[in-house]
Amino acid sequence: MKLYIKYMVSLRCKLFVKYELEKLGLHYTSVELGMIEIKEDISELQKQELKSNLAISGLELMDDKRSILIDKIKNVIIEMIHYSDEVPKVNYSDYIAQKLNYDYTYLSNLFSEVKGITIQHFIIKHKIERAKELILYDELNLTEIAYKLNYSSVAHLSHQFKKVTGHTPSFYKKIGKKRKSNLENL
């Protein structure tokens, strides 16, 4: 049996969900971002208890099919950008459509209708968030970050970065170093 969970976007969330399932005596075969698969059927009582326990930590058990699909789209994008070291071999729209086994136009229209932004804007937002993390980690240069996030060039990354944040990547890096220096001096 598959259950879908909203706001499940990190490894910590996965650990929490596993813990809650074990508390209820449920055996899982898979716990992925946004989705769990359990071996047995879940009783209504167990479902309500799981729902309230998840809500305590900001997670939500979902029933609505449209919400479930939107969450699947978001989780594919988040996993692709934040947790995968591989650059997709196909463009993002093909990758998402293949992963979810739906026509991309349908997914795109549904996402825009429900979320009020396009899938492309959601991807850009997350790519820039990931770029900010990588810049602050200071382990990769901008060329490596641009490649890792599937940008055609450093200029393209810099342009989108400035458009989204209002700052250039180098300015953002300086701010990060200044904050780090200030924290070390406390």
Domain ranges of the chain: 1-63, 121-185
Q: What is the pLDDT of residues 28-80, one digit of tens each?
A: 999 988 889 999 888 889 989 999 999 998 998 887 788 889 989 999 999 88
pLDDT tops 70 at residue 132: yes
Specify the pLDDT at position 52.
92
pLDDT tops 70 at residue 22: yes
pLDDT tops 80 at residue 94: yes
Q: Quick check: helix, strand or coil at residue 5?
A: strand
Specify the pLDDT at position 174.
85
- Domain pair 1-63 / 121-185, same fold: no
Confidence of residue 110 (pLDDT cuts 50, 70, 90): very high
Assigned superfamily of 121-185: Homeodomain-like (1.10.10.60)
Cα gap 50→60, rounded to integer Å: 9
CA-to-CA dists, residue 180 to 58, 82, 139, 168, 184, angstroms:
30, 23, 15, 18, 6
What is the pTM for the complete model shown?
A: 0.71
Specify the pLDDT at position 186.
65
pLDDT tops 80 at residue 93: yes
Q: Is 72 exposed, middle or buried (0-12, 13-18, 19+ CB in 10 A)?
A: buried
Cα gap 93→88, rounded to integer Å: 11
Cα gap 96→119, rounded to integer Å: 10
| Sign (positive or negative) of CA dihedral 88, 89, 93, 95 | negative
Select the more confidently predicted residue: 118 or 62.
118
CA-to-CA dists, residue 167 to 15, 160, 174, 175, angstroms:
36, 10, 11, 10
Cα gap 67→8, rounded to integer Å: 13
Cα gap 56→5, rounded to integer Å: 13
Average pLDDT of span 113-118: 89
Confidence of residue 85 (pLDDT cuts 50, 70, 90): confident
Select the more confidently predicted residue: 33 or 87.
33
What is the overall mean pLDDT for the chain?
89
Domain with residues 1-63, CATH architecture: 2-Layer Sandwich (3.30)
